[in-house]
Structure 1
Amino acid sequence: MTSSRVDLYIYDLSKGMAAIMSPIIIGKKIDGVWHTAITVYEREYFFTASGVENCIPGTTALGPPLKQIKLGETQVPYPVFIEYLNGLSQSSYGANTYQLLSHNCNNFSDELAQFLCGTGIPKYILDLPNEVLQTNLGSTLVPLISQWEQSARPTVQTQSEATTREKSPDLDQQIEEARYKSFVLEQRRKKLKEKLAKRERKKEKRRKKLIKEGHSEVLELEETEMADTEAALNPSESSLPSEQAMQLEEEERRQEEERKRLRDPPVIYKTLHDINVEFDALVGLIDGKLSQEEQTSLEELHKFMLEDEGSWVLGETFLVFIGRLLNDKTLPVEVRVKTLNVLALAALKDDVILLLHQDRREHILMNYAFDIDRHSLEEQEGVALFMCNMFENLSSSEWMLYISEWAYNNQQTSNIRVTTKVAVHSLLSDSSVLQERGSAIIHNLACKEKMFKNFKIRQRLPKGSLSKVFDDVAVELTMALLQFFNGKPSEENLFRCMKALAKFVEISRQEVPQLIQMIGPDPKTFKGTSPRIDELIEKISSKCR
Structure 2
Amino acid sequence: MADEGSVAVELYIYDLTQGMAAMMSQMLLGRHVEGIWHTAVVIFGKEYFYGGHGIQCCPPGATILGQPTKIEKIGETFIPYQIFKDYIRGLSESTFRGLQYNFIKHNCNNFADDLCQFLCGVGIPKYILDLPQEILSTPLGQSLSPLIERLSAGSGGSNNFAFEPQISAREPSPEFDDLNSQIEEARQQSQVLEERRQTIREKIAKREKKKEKKKHRNSTKLSESASESNSNCGMSEAEEINGANGITEPIPPEMLPSEKILEEDAKERAEEEERRKNRIPPVVFHDIDAKTELDGMVKLLDGKLTKEEETNIEELYQYLVQGEGSWALGDNFLVFVGRVLREPSISSEARVHLIRVLAAAALKDDVILILHQDRRDHMLMNFSQDIDRIPIEEQTAWALFICNLFENLSASEWLLYISEWSYNNQQISNIRGTTKVAVHCLLATCPTLQDIGTSIIYNLAIKEVKTVVFDDVAVELTMAILQFFNTKPSEEHLFRTLRALAAFVNVSPDVPQFIQMIGPHPNTFKGTSQRIDELIDQISVKVK
Between 1:300-309 and 1:403-412, the stretch displaced more is 300-309
1:313 positional shift: 2.6
CA deviation map 1:158-184 (0-9, x unaligned)? xxxxxxxxxxxxxxx8x9765322335
Q: Indicate conservation of the 8 Å contact 2:327/2:367, yes or no.
A: no
1:342 equivalenced with 2:341 (yes/no) = no
Between 1:404-413 and 1:317-326, the stretch displaced more is 404-413
How far apart are the structure 2 equivalents of 1:477 and 1:388? 16
Match of 1:264 among 280, 287, 292: 280
Q: Indicate conservation of the 8 Å contact 1:370/1:418, yes or no.
A: yes
Q: What SS is found at the alignment partner of 1:449? A: coil
Q: Indicate conservation of the 8 Å contact 1:311/1:354, yes or no.
A: no
Q: What SS is found at the alignment partner of 1:268? A: coil
Q: Indicate conservation of the 8 Å contact 1:423/1:438, yes or no.
A: yes
Q: Indicate conservation of the 8 Å contact 2:328/2:369, yes or no.
A: no
1:487 equivalenced with 2:478 (yes/no) = no
What is the correspondence of 1:127-146 to structure 2 with a 5 Å cutoff? none
Residues 325 and 274 from structure 1, CA distance in 2 versus in 1: closer, same or farther, beyond 3 angstroms? same
Residues 471 and 188 from structure 1, CA distance in 2 versus in 1: closer, same or farther, beyond 3 angstroms? farther
1:252 positional shift: 7.0
User: 1:396 maps to which residue?
Assistant: 411
1:501 positional shift: 0.3
CA deviation map 1:370-390 (0-9, x unaligned)? 110011111110111011111
How far apart are the structure 1 equivalents of 2:528 and 2:340? 44
How far apart are the structure 2 equivalents of 1:518 and 1:337? 41
How far apart are the structure 1 equivalents of 2:541 and 2:173? 37
Q: Indicate conservation of the 8 Å contact 1:300/1:315, yes or no.
A: no
User: 2:310 maps to which residue?
Assistant: 295
- Structure 1 unmatched ranges of 5 or more: 1-86, 95-107, 117-172, 191-229, 452-457, 459-466
1:187 positional shift: 9.3
Structure 1 outlier segments of 4+, above 4 Å? 175-178, 184-190, 234-238, 245-255, 309-312
How far apart are the structure 2 equivalents of 1:314 and 1:181? 15
1:296 positional shift: 2.3
How far apart are the structure 1 equivalents of 2:330 and 2:441? 32
1:299 positional shift: 2.2
Residues 249 and 476 from structure 1, CA distance in 2 versus in 1: closer, same or farther, beyond 3 angstroms? closer
Q: Indicate conservation of the 8 Å contact 1:504/1:512, yes or no.
A: yes
What is the correspondence of 1:233-272 to structure 2 with a 5 Å cutoff? 256-270=272-286, 272=287
How far apart are the structure 1 equivalents of 2:173 and 2:192? 28
What amino acid is aligned across from residue 375 of structure 1 in structure 2? Answer: I
- Structure 2 unmatched ranges of 5 or more: 1-168, 201-236, 245-252
User: 1:204 maps to which residue?
Assistant: none
1:179 equivalenced with 2:194 (yes/no) = no
1:396 positional shift: 1.1
User: 2:521 maps to which residue?
Assistant: 522
CA deviation map 1:458-480 (0-9, x unaligned)? 4xxxxxxxx1x512311110110
CA deviation map 1:256-296 (0-9, x unaligned)? 434212112111112x2111111111111112111222222
Residues 187 and 299 from structure 1, CA distance in 2 versus in 1: closer, same or farther, beyond 3 angstroms? closer
How far apart are the structure 1 equivalents of 2:393 and 2:334? 21
User: 1:41 maps to which residue?
Assistant: none
User: 2:498 maps to which residue?
Assistant: 498
CA RMSD of aligned residues (A): 3.8
Q: Indicate conservation of the 8 Å contact 2:291/2:317, yes or no.
A: no
How far apart are the structure 2 equivalents of 1:423 and 1:303? 32
Residues 185 and 258 from structure 1, CA distance in 2 versus in 1: closer, same or farther, beyond 3 angstroms? farther
How far apart are the structure 2 equivalents of 1:300 and 1:475? 42
Q: Indicate conservation of the 8 Å contact 1:304/1:314, yes or no.
A: no
How far apart are the structure 2 equivalents of 1:248 and 1:420? 34
How far apart are the structure 2 equivalents of 1:358 and 1:258? 27
What is the correspondence of 1:435-514 to structure 2 with a 5 Å cutoff? 435-451=450-466, 458=467, 467=468, 470-508=470-508, 510-514=509-513
1:517 positional shift: 0.8
Residues 186 and 535 from structure 1, CA distance in 2 versus in 1: closer, same or farther, beyond 3 angstroms? farther
- Larger Cα-atom Rg: 2
Q: Indicate conservation of the 8 Å contact 1:406/1:413, yes or no.
A: yes
Q: Indicate conservation of the 8 Å contact 1:344/1:389, yes or no.
A: yes
Q: What SS is found at the alignment partner of 1:407? A: strand
How far apart are the structure 2 equivalents of 1:530 and 1:350? 35
